Amino acid sequence: MWYRFLADALTVVHLSYVGFVMVGQLLIWAGLVCRWRWVRNPWFRSLHLLAIAVVALETLAGVRCPLTVWEEQLREAVGDELADGEFVRRFLGPVLFSGNYIRDAFSWEFLTYCYYGAAALVLLTFVLAPPRFRLTTRPARGAMEETTSAS
């Protein structure tokens, strides 16, 4: 029972991770157009870049996503039948494609190019519209003179 709950929770975490990368990029673009200041937040932008960089580097190194591996291990422990393919193929494939087209066209090569393309897009956005790091502001000149004259 607990393994199934953990596998389902892990699936939600995995979907959230994918959503953060995909929806995050769309919000960054919208925010740049609408001049939303929060899309230039260095923490958000750095975490967003790191999230897709991890995926791209895993793919480049030929490493399976640990979230997928853990989910499969938990499902095997419960005795659940594992679906064919990786997490992204199983859950995002039906969203992106319909019918039997998935089996023919949604291959590893396609996913690899999607991962690399997404990473390049996020990196390009990071470079062309960089986050804004706050600089420490100095007190105004008049404020500085007031504090020294009051002493």
DSSP 24: H
Number of H helices and E strands in the chain, helices first, is: 7, 0
Digit-coded pLDDT (tens) for 26-80: 999 999 999 999 999 999 999 999 999 999 999 899 888 898 888 888 888 888 7
Q: Is 25 exposed, middle or buried (0-12, 13-18, 19+ CB in 10 A)?
A: middle
pLDDT at residue 9, rounded to an integer: 84
pTM, entire model: 0.72
Using DSSP's 3-state secondary structure scheme, residue 42 falls into: helix
Q: From CA 67, how far away is CA 6, in angstroms rounded?
A: 11
> 13 versus 31: which is more confidently predicted?
31
Rounded to 5°, angle at Cα 138 from 136 and 141: 170
Q: Enumerate residues 6+ apart whose C-beta is below 8 A from 25.
A: 48, 118, 121, 122, 125
Which helix (H) or strand (E) element contains residue 26? Answer: helix 2-34
> What is residue 51's predicted lDDT score, i.e. its pLDDT?
97
Model pLDDT for residues 94-139, shown as the tens digit of each residue: 554 444 444 445 566 777 888 899 999 999 999 999 999 876 666 6
CA distances from 93 to 110, 111, 126 (A): 11, 10, 27
